[in-house]
Amino acid sequence: MQEPSSCHLNLWKKQLGSVPEWVWERTEIETLVLADNGLTEISDRIGQLKRLRVLDLGHNLLAQVPDALGDLEELAGFLYLHDNQLRQLPPSLGRLKKLRYLNISENAFDEFPVALCGLAGLMELRATDNRIISVPDCIEQLSRLRELHLRNNRLTCLPDGVGRMCELRQIDLRGNPLISLPETIPMLPKLEKLDLRWVTTLEMPAWIGDLENRGCLVYR
């Protein structure tokens, strides 16, 4: 029987309260799961885990994450920060150029974290169930993004640059008080799904029909 890999450390739901110091000595690990432990802080020592590719800090009580998170430059798989109390992210997070999946849903963001615009390798972003009122122009720098999930925020519009994110397949805008959509959205060559359910403030633009005619699913 094959032994469990020493490269993966799963401490999910262990009622830790705080991260044991010995965890930061495990510099060989590539996956670290600390979800659902009532954590209120993460030590700067996390920056020592240079081989990390997957990090799960979801379902905790974190009001902030350390600058040292940006030192995890091999973080290429998943970063889960959902269901915490985060209001902002450190600029250093923009150094995670290899990261492909990020979940910051169910936090307390009023503003879209500008640091995310530096995540050049990101393919899926989940930022649902926050209080985000606007998305910055720099989001168009996420040129590899395929899925953008912004359900249940406070968005009234999106920047035109969204229509230049040519890899986008799915845009989820459910439950936002939208009053307009970028005229550039129909230019997205690979768009497969545009979800506008529970949006009661938007007069549907004429080009919605064009999207549907070419096979894009528009939920409204």
pLDDT given at position 113: 98
Tell me the C-alpha distance between 179 and 200, whole Å. 9
pLDDT given at position 1: 32
3-31 residues labelled b (16+ CB within 10 A) or e (exposed): eeeeeebebeeeeeeebeeebeeeeebbb
pLDDT given at position 5: 61
Tell me the C-alpha distance between 218 and 60, whole Å. 34
Residues 204 and 181 sit within 8 Å (Cβ to Cβ):
no
Go through the domains of the chain in sequence order and give each one's CATH number: 1-128 (3.80.10.10), 133-220 (3.80.10.10)
142 Cβ partners below 8 Å, 6+ apart? 116, 117, 119, 120, 122, 125, 165
Residue-wise pLDDT tens for the chain (220 aa)? 333 467 999 999 999 999 999 999 999 999 999 999 999 999 999 999 999 999 999 999 999 999 999 999 999 999 999 999 999 999 999 999 999 999 999 999 999 999 999 999 999 999 999 999 999 999 999 999 999 999 999 999 999 999 999 999 999 999 999 999 999 999 999 999 999 999 999 999 999 999 999 999 999 9
Q: What is the token pair recorded at 40? A: 């209120």
pLDDT given at position 77: 97
pTM > 0.85: yes or no: yes
48 Cβ partners below 8 Å, 6+ apart? 24, 27
From residue 97, alpha-carbon distances to 46, 67, 118, 180 in Å are 18, 15, 7, 31
